[in-house]
Chains A and B, each alone.
Chain A
């Protein structure tokens, strides 16, 4: 396969970036998208060109490192996958592929396609936990039975990998899906109920302070989310917040 790649190049956070065009040949359809970039980088390095920086680690769709906006879509054209799980057979010979970083004011570019997502971590610091000591002297795990439906829903919310595709794809750069996944997970479990009020208020407050946009329920995040986190979580968070505001 022969491809034309239009890739966002940006030296560092302070410099101005631009799209640079590269041609690449002899790409096997069985390659993963990142392996294609590996091949390109090897070529670039041997030509003395700075290789393209991109985040990646586990390459099996679970660590949430990869963060590319491919042809206008977060993690590329396939659904329910991350960029590392995207394979070149999804493209045709001669295609032009635009590759950009996940864009949001809250995700400043570090270099090329690498962005800084520590805003997500800071939201978690604000309340994404249950305050339980790690002594191991908690009660037996089976003391509190949890309804299977709730446990399953909590699990579905908890599968969020924190990649940021929701923010990247949202026209408002809103982080509601990400935050609501954590709020939902704990709101659905009895262990999380104790701190539910403070948690939702603090996490939403931090989210706003970071400068993420507002949610307008377009639903794009739900569709682009590699783990198919449901929009229902956002509704649940809204509910939790209103409830919390009445309590406080």
Chain B
């Protein structure tokens, strides 16, 4: 078994696999977040579990971080290679006639999502790490919900949050289905794959926006 990343197809497959892995993470993240709309106790419980379970914290979390870094570093490498494959550019290049904007601009939607991720880390993840491992504050299973509410109080932040999810949606609209092709899915499943990935790519980011807007409205109405 000599799988190296030397072959363009293997790079492509690796890109697809890391992408799918991130989608699984996204789904999981969404499921936990959406509970905040229905029941703050469940949300707190799940968040506490995720934040303090050894396997998740020390095995899955590093894998996830590796996945994210791999996905975007590889994305940049591929983009750089692809741009290099044509030395003189066309004077007129009508590629909108044969392909969608999203499929051609994964790098743009990717960068937006990446910047959001940076913000998100700054907002949620770094305080978390600080709380748990640097300041070693006592575990408080009920702190997560109030923190969430607090973060979504600021409308500017929510707008940034929503815009980022629009770009995530665009990224997914091409990337999700494309990853199946990269993995060589049989063409007879394409119709269902396309349908599923489109529904997913629209509704999951929409759901995240909904959560943010919901908490923004709720907190501003109740207080």
**Which positions in A face B, CB cutoff 8 Å?**
6, 8, 17, 19, 69, 71-73, 77, 98, 100, 103-106, 169, 171-174, 201, 204-205, 207-208, 211-220, 223-224, 230-232, 234-242, 245-246, 248
Contact of A73 with B82 in the complex, beta carbons under 8 Å: no
User: In the complex, which residues of chain A have a beta carbon less than 8 angstroms from the beta carbon of B181?
Assistant: 217, 231, 234-235, 238
Of B7, B89, B94, B174, the contact of A208 (CB 8 Å cutoff): B7
Known: A220-B99, A231-B181, A235-B185. A73 touches B94 (CB 8 A): yes
Contact of A104 with B92 in the complex, beta carbons under 8 Å: no
> For residues 1 through 51 of chain B, which have their beta carbon under 8 Å from a beta carbon of chain A?
1-3, 6-13
Of A106, A231, A241, the contact of B7 (CB 8 Å cutoff): A241
User: In the complex, which residues of chain A have a beta carbon less than 8 angstroms from the beta carbon of B81?
Assistant: 172, 213-214
User: In the complex, which residues of chain A have a beta carbon less than 8 angstroms from the beta carbon of B197?
Assistant: none
Complex: A224 Cα to B185 Cα, angstroms: 23
Of B88, B97, B104, B190, the contact of A218 (CB 8 Å cutoff): B104
Contact of B85 with A213 in the complex, beta carbons under 8 Å: yes
Contact of B98 with A219 in the complex, beta carbons under 8 Å: yes
User: In the complex, which residues of chain B have a beta carbon less than 8 angstroms from the beta carbon of A104?
Assistant: 85-86
Complex: A105 Cα to B85 Cα, angstroms: 5
**Which positions in B face A, CB cutoff 8 Å?**
1-3, 6-13, 78, 81-82, 84-95, 97-100, 103-104, 106, 174, 177-178, 181-187, 190
Contact of A100 with B82 in the complex, beta carbons under 8 Å: no
Apart from the given pairs A105-B87, A238-B181, 8 other A-B contacts in the complex at a CB distance below 8 Å? A77-B97, A105-B85, A213-B82, A218-B104, A219-B98, A232-B187, A241-B9, A242-B183
Contact of B82 with A172 in the complex, beta carbons under 8 Å: yes
B28 to chain A, nearest CB (A): 26
Of A106, A173, A238, the contact of B13 (CB 8 Å cutoff): A238
Of B2, B3, B12, B103, the contact of A238 (CB 8 Å cutoff): B12
A70 to chain B, nearest CB (A): 9
Known: A208-B8, A214-B11, A241-B9. A235 touches B187 (CB 8 A): yes
Contact of B91 with A105 in the complex, beta carbons under 8 Å: no
User: In the complex, which residues of chain A have a beta carbon less than 8 angstroms from the beta carbon of B90?
Assistant: 69, 72, 100, 103
User: In the complex, which residues of chain A have a beta carbon less than 8 angstroms from the beta carbon of B186?
Assistant: 235
A199 to chain B, nearest CB (A): 13
User: In the complex, which residues of chain B have a beta carbon less than 8 angstroms from the beta carbon of A8?
Assistant: 91
A113 to chain B, nearest CB (A): 13
B183 to chain A, nearest CB (A): 7
A168 to chain B, nearest CB (A): 9
User: In the complex, which residues of chain A have a beta carbon less than 8 angstroms from the beta carbon of B104?
Assistant: 171, 218
User: In the complex, which residues of chain A have a beta carbon less than 8 angstroms from the beta carbon of B106?
Assistant: 216
Complex: A19 Cα to B92 Cα, angstroms: 11
A-B contact pairs, 23 of them (CB 8 A): A6-B91, A72-B90, A72-B94, A73-B94, A73-B98, A77-B97, A103-B86, A103-B89, A103-B90, A104-B85, A105-B87, A173-B85, A174-B82, A204-B9, A214-B78, A214-B81, A218-B103, A219-B99, A235-B181, A238-B12, A241-B7, A241-B10, A245-B1
B122 to chain A, nearest CB (A): 30
Q: Please, which residue of chain B has its CB at the minimum distance from the CB of A215? A: B12
User: In the complex, which residues of chain B have a beta carbon less than 8 angstroms from the beta carbon of A212?
Assistant: 8, 85
Complex: A60 Cα to B130 Cα, angstroms: 70
Contact of A204 with B99 in the complex, beta carbons under 8 Å: no
Contact of A171 with B78 in the complex, beta carbons under 8 Å: no
Of A72, A173, A204, the contact of B86 (CB 8 Å cutoff): A173
Contact of A236 with B99 in the complex, beta carbons under 8 Å: no
User: In the complex, which residues of chain A have a beta carbon less than 8 angstroms from the beta carbon of B78?
Assistant: 214, 216
Contact of A105 with B184 in the complex, beta carbons under 8 Å: no
Complex: A214 Cα to B82 Cα, angstroms: 6
B198 to chain A, nearest CB (A): 15
Of A205, A218, A238, the contact of B184 (CB 8 Å cutoff): A238
Q: Please, which residue of chain B has its CB at the minimum distance from the CB of A106? A: B85
Contact of A248 with B85 in the complex, beta carbons under 8 Å: no
Contact of B85 with A218 in the complex, beta carbons under 8 Å: no
Known: A214-B78, A214-B81. A245 touches B99 (CB 8 A): no
Contact of A169 with B98 in the complex, beta carbons under 8 Å: yes
Contact of A207 with B86 in the complex, beta carbons under 8 Å: no
Contact of B178 with A216 in the complex, beta carbons under 8 Å: yes
